[in-house]
């Protein structure tokens, strides 16, 4: 296949950049590059245009670098939200790809970005936040925070009311309990008893002067002997 040497006037992916001299198939140059204005034949007259092309290329590269640097600063502050469908167990249906992230950047922030600049080692398969690398330029690399959310979030478990009530009761008991002083034998009144209510008869403390009672009956009284009458 015949080859011909051309001078590129535009960047051609996989071929070269502006002002580069490359060899291509003659048919490719004749049928595509020359008609589209992407290259010119390498001739004596065209060689004099190289300096102009190189100067234009340098200016364009500086502009691209500045533009991508500013874009990187803006993207680093954003959170791109991607909503996906999940099952009852929280597992995703499908994956989040570089193309989907690029589409969401366009939809949410009106940022047009080639999906080839979104670098994913593997498609995202789990919910949550992920740091995705963006290769905006040969000298500009940044991170984009991507939050993958479910369109049907799982319900959060609730604390059982009985368990919570039991914990509150235990905390109340701990606050109300007081340590007893050693040797304190004073009897405490029954819990819940009124201050004015007297203790039952059987629970009253006996004093030293009280006579013991047996069987609950009073002891029989002894008759005093009568005094003898005086005789006249």
User: Taking residues 23-41, what's their average pLDDT?
Assistant: 91
Q: What is the pLDDT of residue 170?
A: 75
Domain 3-48 and domain 72-150 have a common topology: no
Give pLDDT, residue 48: 79
- 121-146 residue pLDDT tens: 899 999 999 999 999 998 999 999 99
The model's pLDDT over 95-108, given as tens digits with 9 standing for 90+, comes to 999 999 999 999 99
Delimit the domains of the chain by residue range.
3-48, 72-150
- Range scoring the smallest mean pLDDT among 106-110, 122-126, 149-153, 212-216: 212-216
Residue 52 has what pLDDT?
A: 84
Total-model pTM? 0.54
Q: What CATH number was assigned to the domain covering residues 3-48?
A: 3.40.5.10
Tell me the pLDDT band of 74, cut-offs 50, 70 and 90: very high
Fold of 72-150: Ribosomal Protein L9; domain 2 (3.10.430)
Closest CA to 36 of 3, 58, 14, 6: 6
């Amino acid at each position: 296949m015949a080859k011909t040497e051309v001078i590129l006037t535009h960047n051609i992916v996989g071929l070269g950049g502006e002002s580069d001299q490359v060899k291509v198939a003659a048919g490719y140059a004749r049928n595509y590059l020359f008609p589209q204005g992407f290259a010119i034949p390498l001739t004596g007259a065209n060689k004099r245009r190289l300096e102009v092309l190189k100067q234009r290329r340098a200016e364009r590269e500086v502009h691209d670098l500045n533009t991508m640097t500013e874009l990187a600063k803006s993207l680093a502050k954003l959170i791109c939200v991607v909503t996906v469908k999940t099952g009852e167990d929280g597992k995703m249906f499908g994956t989040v790809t570089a193309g989907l992230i690029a589409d969401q950047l366009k939809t949410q922030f009106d940022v047009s970005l080639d999906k080839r600049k979104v670098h994913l080692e593997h498609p995202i398969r789990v919910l949550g936040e992920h740091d995705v690398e963006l290769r905006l330029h040969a000298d500009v690399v940044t991170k984009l925070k991507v939050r993958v959310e479910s369109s049907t979030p799982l319900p959060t478990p609730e604390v059982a009311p009985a368990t919570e009530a039991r914990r509150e009761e235990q905390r109340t008991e701990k606050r109300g309990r007081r340590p007893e002083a050693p040797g304190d034998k004073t009897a405490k009144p029954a819990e819940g008893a009124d201050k004015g209510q007297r203790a039952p008869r059987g629970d009253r403390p006996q004093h030293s002067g009280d006579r013991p009672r047996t069987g609950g009956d009073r002891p029989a009284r002894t008759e005093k002997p009568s005094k003898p009458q005086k005789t006249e």
